[in-house]
Amino acid sequence: MKTCLKIAGLAIPVVLAMQANAGTIAPTATATTQTAATGSFIVAAFSFGLSANVGLGYTESPTNVVINTGNIKGSVTFGANSTGGAVAPCTTNATPSTANGYSVAAPSTAGSGCS
C-alpha cells in the first residue's frame, strides 16, 4: 500500500505538468508591455509589446504554444503557433470580438491559433 501511495504521489505532479494552460490578455486604450510568464511550454519569462486595442488569447502545452489575436476595431484575427507556423490571418473564427479583440480565448494546441 505504501508503494502505491508513493507512485501516486509521483504521478500526480507529472500529469499536472502535462496539462495545457490557457489565458487571455485584454485590450487597452494604449500600447502596453506584457510579460509571458513561465508555464508548460515557456521556460523563461519574457516581455513583449502589445499595441493599443489588441487582445490576445493563448494556450500552451509542454510541446506547443498557440495564440489568437486581433484588434477590437479591426476586421480580421490572426493565429500562430510555435511548431513552425507563421502568424497568418484566420479564415475560421476570423472576425475579432469588439470586446476583447481575439475570437478564440483558448485556441487548440493542435491548430494554427484560429480554432
> Quick check: is 10 in a domain?
no
N- to C-terminal Cα distance for the chain?
Answer: 44
Instruction: Flag whether 62 is in a domain.
Output: yes
In a domain, 6, yes or no: no
Q: What is the mean pLDDT of residues 69-82?
A: 93
Domain that holds residue 37: 20-115
CA 94 to chain CA centroid, Å, is 17
pLDDT at 81 over 50: yes
The answer to whether 108 touches 66, Cβ cutoff 8 Å, is: yes
Give the model confidence (pLDDT) of 37-72 as tens digits.
888 888 888 888 999 999 999 999 898 889 999 999
The total number of structural domains that make up the chain? 1
Q: What is the pLDDT of residue 43?
A: 86
Tell me, yes or no, whether 30 lies in a domain.
yes
Does residue 66 or residue 8 have the better pLDDT?
A: 66
Whether 13 is in a domain gets the answer: no
Question: Is residue 33 one of the residues assigned to a domain?
Answer: yes
Examine residue 55 and state whether it is found in any structural domain, yes or no.
yes
Using pLDDT thresholds of 50, 70 and 90, give the confidence band for residue 83.
confident
Helix, strand or coil, per DSSP, at residue 106: coil
